[in-house]
Structure 1
């Protein structure tokens, strides 16, 4: 899978280019096809690309739209034709050959944060909205794609690779005893919001995250349906 990292300084301090490049270079084992980064003041994004679909052959990330929106993603969308039709109905100009990250960016431009309600597939992504000065992130319904985040003071960090976040100098290696205890007793961490490192959290499946100078907000965007009934014939 492709790798990405985002750094946001909520106090407006500029991003250190050498540090962002260091974290982006670390992700090269995830994405050997291209490696790029982008900085605009207090926001920085890095991406290492692995091309996995026909549409990704000409893809570049971080990708931008209208000079306002920027995205890094590891995504494979389903029901692309339906999403493209909905975007065109919303007066968005979308190519049939648009990459999955382009479709996500177009969806955010069309519908804002509720865009996740229209996405299907495996994805984790971060979109910077320069107009609202906020970073919007989301993880797919079943958590197929990972997403990690950390906050130390005024520094927000986001990545789909835990060890990438660990390399940031503000993140300590302090362990999370509860998570490690779960691993030793049960073979997995039962808390889907934590990791084995105290200062690094996971974004749970079917959740989105918004970060800005006002802080960080996490919310669930989808819950599996429980109100459907099966007839006896469906079990035969």
Structure 2
């Protein structure tokens, strides 16, 4: 498993490296092999890597495609990435790595938000489109890979666990609905709730698109 985190700010402030580092420290156990950060003004990503496919530095994250102006952080495995890679090569795409991570980038560029329908695997990922200033967030159909977020008027923050969001100030008040669910459903709190008021869980088979002003569009 890997760990991902990041922020998109709506208040004209820049994402701070210290904030990303704080979040990454809380997901570090998910990816002991390497860590990476990328930030550009209002947007920033962090990644803790567990190397499985393409162990070279070409598979490192956050992964930026300089040609397509897309940046990705990804946790999971795409089982059909090799066949998708061949399909995309036939469409004229070239690859600089042998990773399933890069296949997601090209798939998003080619199919847009519908790329998730072509992915066979378990995944949670976020893609920043530098041309459109849109953040695309997706979670796999079964919800195998976790992805949490907090949303305020100032910032959208996401991470692979709740601890990373609490570390940067998410509201830790108890969600009364989630508490009732936890007590009545044998300790299970279904998405989108978590036990914390300030943290939500992205539902399985769901995507979010967030623009630079904080408008969120959810699709299932």
Q: Normalising by the residue count of structure 2, what TM-score does the alignment of the two structures yield?
A: 0.92
Structure number with greater CO (CA < 8 Å, separation at least 6) is: 2
User: What secondary structure is seen at the aligned counterpart in 2 of 1:70?
Assistant: strand
Q: How does 1:107-126 map to 2 (within 5 A)?
A: 107-126=107-126
1:57 CA displacement:
4.4
The 3 A distance-change label for structure 1 pair 18 and 101 is: same
User: What secondary structure is seen at the aligned counterpart in 1 of 2:116?
Assistant: helix
CA–CA separation in structure 2 for the residues paired with 1:152 and 1:165: 12
Runs ≥4 in structure 1, deviation > 4 angstroms? none
Q: How does 1:1-40 map to 2 (within 5 A)?
A: 1-40=1-40
CA–CA separation in structure 2 for the residues paired with 1:107 and 1:191: 30
Does 185-194 or 78-87 show the bigger shift? 185-194
Q: Which residue of 2 aligns with 1:223?
A: none
User: What secondary structure is seen at the aligned counterpart in 1 of 2:11?
Assistant: coil
1:190 CA displacement:
5.3
CA–CA separation in structure 2 for the residues paired with 1:156 and 1:201: 11
Kept in 2, the 8 Å contact 1:75–1:100? The answer is no
User: What secondary structure is seen at the aligned counterpart in 1 of 2:158?
Assistant: strand
Kept in 1, the 8 Å contact 2:38–2:45? The answer is yes
Q: Gapped runs of 5+ residues in structure 2?
A: none
1:94 CA displacement:
3.2
CA–CA separation in structure 1 for the residues paired with 2:82 and 2:22: 38
Q: Gapped runs of 5+ residues in structure 1?
A: 221-236
Cα deviation 1:137-171 (Å, max 9, x = unaligned) = 100111110111111222100112121111112x1
1:101 CA displacement:
1.0
1:42 CA displacement:
0.4
Kept in 1, the 8 Å contact 2:8–2:155? The answer is yes
User: What secondary structure is seen at the aligned counterpart in 2 of 1:112?
Assistant: helix
- Structure (1 or 2) with the larger CA radius of gyration: 1
User: What secondary structure is seen at the aligned counterpart in 2 of 1:61?
Assistant: coil
CA–CA separation in structure 1 for the residues paired with 2:28 and 2:192: 26
Q: How does 1:152-167 map to 2 (within 5 A)?
A: 152-167=152-167
1:177 CA displacement:
1.3
Kept in 2, the 8 Å contact 1:77–1:122? The answer is yes
